[in-house]
Amino acid sequence: MRNRFAALALTMSVGFAAPASASTQVTFLNAGTVTAFGYYVGPYNGIMGAPVNGTVLLNCVDFFHHVADGDIWQANLTNLSSNAGIGTVTRFNNLTAYRQAAWLATQFATTSNPATIGDIQATMWNLFSGPTTPPQPTTNSWLLASQAYVAANPNGSSYQNFWVVSDVNSYNADGTDNVNSRQEFIIVTPEPASMLLFGTGLAGLAAARIRRRRN
């Protein structure tokens, strides 16, 4: 998101929906606390409807539009498991770039270093082109890593928990860009399979403890 230090009071809120092509209400809460290159970077905080139905981390892929604390809007959700809706519902017509951004979004959790978070964010912004130039990351390592991941994981199932959140008013009636529409984000929903395995693992540990007590 393009919040400059001068706009420290601004925050964001986003609404989240489950099926691609469905719309949901988004509320922008805030842009977090990490800054780099003169902007807020890293995940922002919002509230969305199904399938999240609560707070959500908003990963900004759109350097060319704005959002402010307390903003509420309707957004379309586009799933990254296929090309459906890419370029028609979303702002950009590049599934590969969105998938790279999705992987990069997962990397914020691997570091607390503001400079590293800034490089990840700048790499995400530079995956997409627009009327202005995003800040440049200090290294191309994150770009290369995202390219390698997508090349090694072409199957759509690898991205079924990633969604693009696009303002329903992204475009004017004549098809031109609506400069007053809200920024575009990527969100990640919990992976049911992983959660199931985690639950199964806990059940196994509990059973093992019961057997030890009996012995």
Q: How far apart are CA 16 and CA 23, in angstroms?
A: 8
Tokens read off for 189: 């929903």
Q: Is the pTM of this model over 0.85?
A: no
Asked if the model's pLDDT at residue 178 lies above 80, the reply is yes
Tokens read off for 196: 């199931």
Domain that holds residue 79: 5-214
Which band of pLDDT confidence, cut at 50, 70 and 90, is reported for residue 200?
A: very low
Q: How far apart are CA 78 and CA 153, in angstroms?
A: 19
* The one-letter amino acid at 112: S
- In degrees and rounded to multiples of 5, residue 164 shows phi and psi of -90, 130
Tokens read off for 140: 């191309």
In this predicted model, what pLDDT tens digit does every residue of 32-67 receive, in sequence order? 999 999 999 999 999 998 778 899 999 999 999 999
- In degrees and rounded to multiples of 5, residue 87 shows phi and psi of 90, -15
Asked if the model's pLDDT at residue 161 lies above 80, the reply is yes
Tally of domains in the chain: 1
More confident residue, 142 or 201: 142
In this predicted model, what pLDDT tens digit does every residue of 65-78 receive, in sequence order? 999 999 999 999 99
Cα first-last separation, the chain: 58
Q: Out of 42-46, 131-135, 168-172, 189-193, which region has the weakest mean confidence (pLDDT)?
A: 189-193
Contact 142, 119 (CB under 8 A): yes
